[in-house]
Amino acid sequence: MNKTKLISAEVTKQRYCNICGADWDDGDIKEAFVKQGNSEDEAEKIARAYYGWTKEIPTRFSRLVGIEDSTIYDGISYWQCPDCCATWDRWHGYKFLGQYKNFKDIPKTSRY
Ligand SMILES: [Zn+2]
């Protein structure tokens, strides 16, 4: 594997996992609310209010998993591929850390 592919510029802006190739796209946000039984208007209202969805910029859900470690930060510190468990460190340029099925195995990094 090409080593440069292991380091992402910003993993949260990618659609595909650069380790296993999984598609992280989880569909149009407004459509998700329509599928839940809301009318088109109601779904659009929810998507606009909570997810910044617009007709011009129809934001989409991602399957990428955000992992919080409250000993580091009150928010996401790691991002992980739901399919291959590839894990990236938010605090160090989205550095690829490895593949970890268990949270406790992720090497602890610091925010600073
Ligand atoms: Zn993957």
Which whole number is the average pLDDT over 61-82?
92
Q: Which residues surround ligand 1, an ion (CB under 5 A)?
A: 17, 19-20, 22, 81, 83-84, 86
Q: What share of the chain is helix, strand, coil (3-state, %, to 5)?
A: 25, 25, 50
Which pLDDT does position 112 carry in this prediction? 77
Side chain identity at 18, as an amino acid letter? Answer: N
Beta-strand relationship, 76-80 and 86-89: antiparallel
Give buried/exposed letters for 9-48 (b at 16+ CB in 10 A, else e). Answer: eebeebeebbbeebebeeebbbbbbbeeebeeeebbebbe
How far, in Å, from the CA of 29 to the mean position of ligand 1?
Answer: 22
Residue 5 in this model has a pLDDT that exceeds 70: no
Which pLDDT does position 19 carry in this prediction? 94
Side chain identity at 89, as an amino acid letter? Answer: D
Which pLDDT does position 10 carry in this prediction? 77
How far, in Å, from the CA of 46 to the mean position of ligand 1?
Answer: 30
Residue 78 in this model has a pLDDT that exceeds 80: yes
Average pLDDT value over all residues in the chain: 89
Which pLDDT does position 9 carry in this prediction? 55
Domain locations in the chain as residue ranges: 1-24+64-105, 27-62
The tens digit of pLDDT for each residue in 9-53 reads 578 888 999 999 999 999 999 999 999 999 999 999 999 999 999
